[in-house]
Copies of this chain bind each other. A is one copy, B any other.
Amino acid sequence: MPYTVPMPRWQPNAREQLTRAALSLFAERGYENTTVVSIVERAGLGKTTFFRYFRDKREVLFGADSPVDAAGEIAAAPAGASPLEAVAAALDAAGAQAFTPARRETLALRQSVIDANPELQEREALKNIGLTASMTDALRRRGVPDLTSTVTAQLGTLTLKIAFDRWIAAAGNADFAPLARQVLSEVQAAATQ
């Protein structure tokens, strides 16, 4: 009998199937009450497949690298751009790459799961602090003074969060980028009252 090398079966879209199954279970039963076994059952896949993509169920929510490289976008902004314009460019990229109409429903479901669980809220808050730190560094590397880098990055993260909430709440297929630009100007106005 010839020896056959065991081939891992490649599942097209397995990651997405698992993510959808996990999110719907988190929303139905609560995050704490959902097991990996129930996720793979709902997805019609095996546990091995799950652990090929995620270390645990929390990674379904937080495992993916941010699809937007905010620091990279800030670095790539035109030399003459102000710190706030560089951050605005990163927000535009977020709209184009991450906050697309096709992903809106999944992102809204993910957010509702996080909002229902204090431990997940902490995790999300720490992730946002990491985002602010990486934008601060990217601005510093453009030669922006420390304090201005810190403040601008903080306002950028805040704008992203508020714009995201509005985008999720908006009826129909609102585009993210113009919404984010609008919020950025409101945030700036609020900072100067």
Contacts and interface: CB of A to CB of B under 8 A. Distances in A.
Interface of A: 82-84, 122, 125-126, 129, 147-148, 150-152, 154-155, 158, 162, 183, 186-188, 190-193
A191 B193 contact: no
Given A125-B125, A191-B188, A193-B83, A151 B147 contact: no
Max chain B Cβ within 10 angstroms of own Cβ: one of A154, A186, A190, A193: A190
Contacts of A126: 122, 125-126
Contacts of A83: 193
Contacts of A129: 125
Contacts of A158: 150-151, 154
Number of chain copies forming the complex: 2
20 contacts: A82-B193, A83-B193, A84-B193, A125-B129, A126-B126, A147-B183, A147-B187, A147-B190, A148-B190, A148-B193, A151-B155, A151-B158, A151-B191, A152-B191, A154-B154, A154-B155, A154-B158, A188-B191, A188-B192, A191-B192
A148 to B, nearest CB: 4
A162 B147 contact: yes
Given A83-B193, A147-B187, A150-B162, 6 more contacts: A147-B190, A148-B190, A151-B191, A154-B154, A154-B158, A188-B192
A118 to B, nearest CB: 10
A150 B155 CA distance: 11
A86 to B, nearest CB: 11
A129 B83 CA distance: 24
A155 B191 contact: yes
Contacts of A150: 158, 162, 190
